[in-house]
Structures are given as structure tokens and as C-alpha cells.
């Protein structure tokens, strides 16, 4: 009722986008009207082909899809969503007239996150949508955290591995500058060798970083939960 709508809006779900995929225009319109009232942004598609197209373009937080549809059914849509790297964390609720245990298992095996039998209870559907939206948000937060963590670990690795040889090159160049002022030219070849060998160290580090397919990690500092990439691990 009104209290649920107020609660949803208070929780600021306005940014949450739900895609409704159903070949029954009455169900599409009904769900769109009710979900919009609850503060969600609602997109529509009349079959799986259009649903997949809209999902790839709009990246919804949650998809409600009918099972039986022309061109591409709910199961095929579900499979396509879960095999798409950009969409695989999208929460997907399947609506179906089929109510056997085997059908439910088939739905879950294709990657459906939840399953509701038609005719559905409105309150139950909205409660499950609420759960789905929260899970979707948590997965996005986790994905962002993992991305930030990966960037941090890469930055630490580059800083740690490159800092030493780069420091030696810079110091040697400063010494060479003084030697040129003092006209100690005979000592320069030795310094150039030092710069070249440390330049090669930097080049090797970059090469190793580019060659990594499955990163191996080691602690950056003792007793720290921050890692860095182990460049001596398997390439």
C-alpha cells in the first residue's frame, strides 16, 4: 500500500531500473504502472530478443521476464544475460505458469535468481524485487571494490618494483652531471652501464606485467592485507 511506496521512495530507489520482458501487453503495462508508483524506473520489452537488446543498452538493475515468449523465451534470455560479462550480475526473476519442481530446477540451472508462478501475488513479487535490488546493489559495490583493489595492487606493484631501478638511474645521472662539470670523462662509460642495466630492469618489469594472464599475489608488507603482484610467479 502507501506505506510500502513511501518506504521505497525513502530508501531512494529512484535510480533503480527494472526491465519487464513479457509478450502479454497487459502484464507489461500493469507491472510498469505499479513499479513506477513504487519509485522504480521501468523499461519494457515484448520478447527475449528485444529484452536482451534493451538490457545491453540500458544495463538494468533487475529483470522480470516471462518464461514462454516468441522468438526468444525466458530461459534463453536468462542464458544470454548470464553469459554476458556486462550483465551477468543482473538479478533475474522468471514468471511462469509452470509450477513443477523440474521446471523450477531448470530455471535455476539457466541462471535465474528467482522464480514466481503466475498468477503471482503482487506483494510477494514486490518483496522479492526488493531483495533482488539489494543483492544487485551489493554485487555492484563488491565489483567496484574489487576493481579499486586491483588498481591499488597494480599501482603498488609498479611503485615497488620500478622505484628501485629508477632511483638508481636518477642518482647515476646526477653523478654523471657532476663528473662532466669536473671533466672526469673516463668514468662515464661505467655510469652509462649502470643506467642501461637498470633501464633494462624497468623494461623487464613492464614486459612481465604485460605477459601476466593469471596474476599471482604476495603480501606487500609483512602482516598486511594489501597485496602486490608476484612478478616471479608463473607467467
Rounded to an integer, the average pLDDT of 98-125 is 76
What pLDDT, on the 0 to 100 scale, is given for residue 145? 78
Quick: pLDDT tens for 184-220: 899 899 999 999 999 998 888 888 877 777 777 777 6
Are 104 and 136 in contact by the 8 Å Cβ rule? The answer is no
- Reply yes or no on whether the pLDDT at 48 is more than 60: yes
Helical (H) or strand (E) element with 219: strand 217-219
More confident residue, 82 or 41: 41
Quickly state the pLDDT bin for 3 (edges 50, 70, 90): very low
- Residue 38, SS3 per DSSP: coil
Give the Cα separation of 70 and 126 in Å (integer).
26
Tell me 37's DSSP state.
H
Find residue 64's DSSP bridge partners.
Answer: 20, 93
What pLDDT, on the 0 to 100 scale, is given for residue 221? 66
Are 94 and 145 in contact by the 8 Å Cβ rule? The answer is no
Contacts of residue 106, defined as CB under 8 A and 6 or more positions apart, other chains included, come to: 75
Average pLDDT, the chain: 82
Nearest one of 120, 209, 202 to 162, comparing CA atoms: 202
What pLDDT, on the 0 to 100 scale, is given for residue 220? 67
- Reply yes or no on whether the pLDDT at 141 is more than 90: no
Nearest one of 18, 14, 75, 84 to 45, comparing CA atoms: 18
Rounded to an integer, the average pLDDT of 21-50 is 92
Nearest one of 172, 165, 170, 204 to 189, comparing CA atoms: 172
DSSP code string of 177-193: HHHHHTT-GGGHHHHHH
Rounded to an integer, the average pLDDT of 132-145 is 82
- Burial category of 153 from C-beta neighbours within 10 Å (exposed 0-12, middle 13-18, buried 19 and up): middle
Are 73 and 98 in contact by the 8 Å Cβ rule? The answer is no
Alpha helices in the chain (DSSP H): 2-10, 25-37, 48-58, 74-82, 101-109, 122-181, 188-211
Quick: pLDDT tens for 223-235: 666 677 777 765 4
- Reply yes or no on whether the pLDDT at 153 is more than 70: yes
What pLDDT, on the 0 to 100 scale, is given for residue 188? 92
More confident residue, 50 or 102: 50
More confident residue, 53 or 116: 53
Rounded to an integer, the average pLDDT of 141-150 is 78
Give the Cα separation of 10 and 116 in Å (integer).
27
Q: What percent of the chain has pLDDT over 90?
A: 26
- Reply yes or no on whether the pLDDT at 34 is more than 80: yes
Give the Cα separation of 77 and 66 in Å (integer).
10
Rounded to an integer, the average pLDDT of 112-117 is 83
Quick: pLDDT tens for 156-189: 888 778 877 888 888 889 889 989 988 989 989 9
Are 64 and 40 in contact by the 8 Å Cβ rule? The answer is no
- Residue 228, SS3 per DSSP: strand
Enter the pTM of the model. 0.60
What pLDDT, on the 0 to 100 scale, is given for residue 44? 94
Nearest one of 60, 55, 64 to 140, comparing CA atoms: 60
What pLDDT, on the 0 to 100 scale, is given for residue 167? 84
Amino acid at each position: 500500500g502507501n506505506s510500502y511506496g513511501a518506504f521505497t521512495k525513502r530508501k531512494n530507489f529512484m535510480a533503480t531500473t527494472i526491465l519487464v520482458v513479457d509478450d502479454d501487453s497487459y502484464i507489461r503495462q500493469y507491472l510498469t504502472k505499479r513499479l513506477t508508483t513504487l519509485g522504480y524506473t521501468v523499461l519494457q520489452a515484448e520478447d527475449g530478443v528485444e529484452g536482451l537488446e534493451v538490457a545491453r543498452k540500458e544495463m538494468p538493475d533487475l529483470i522480470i521476464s516471462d518464461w514462454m515468449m516468441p522468438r526468444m523465451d525466458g530461459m534463453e534470455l536468462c542464458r544470454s544475460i548470464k553469459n554476458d560479462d556486462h550483465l551477468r550480475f543482473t538479478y533475474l526473476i522468471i514468471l511462469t505458469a509452470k509450477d513443477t519442481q523440474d521446471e523450477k530446477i531448470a530455471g535455476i540451472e539457466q541462471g535465474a535468481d528467482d522464480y514466481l508462478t503466475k498468477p503471482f501475488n503482487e506483494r510477494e513479487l514486490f518483496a522479492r524485487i526488493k531483495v533482488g535490488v539489494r543483492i544487485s546493489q551489493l554485487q555492484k559495490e563488491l565489483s567496484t571494490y574489487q576493481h579499486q583493489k586491483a588498481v591499488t595492487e597494480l599501482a603498488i606493484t609498479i611503485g615497488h618494483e620500478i622505484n628501485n631501478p629508477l632511483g638508481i638511474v636518477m642518482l647515476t645521472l646526477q653523478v654523471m652531471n657532476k663528473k662532466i662539470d669536473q671533466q672526469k670523462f673516463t668514468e662515464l662509460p661505467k655510469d652509462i652501464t649502470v643506467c642501461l642495466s637498470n633501464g633494462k630492469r624497468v623494461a623487464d618489469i613492464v614486459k612481465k606485467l604485460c605477459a601476466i594472464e593469471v596474476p599471482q599475489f604476495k603480501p606487500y608488507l609483512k602482516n598486511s592485507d594489501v597485496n602486490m603482484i608476484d612478478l616471479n610467479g608463473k607467467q
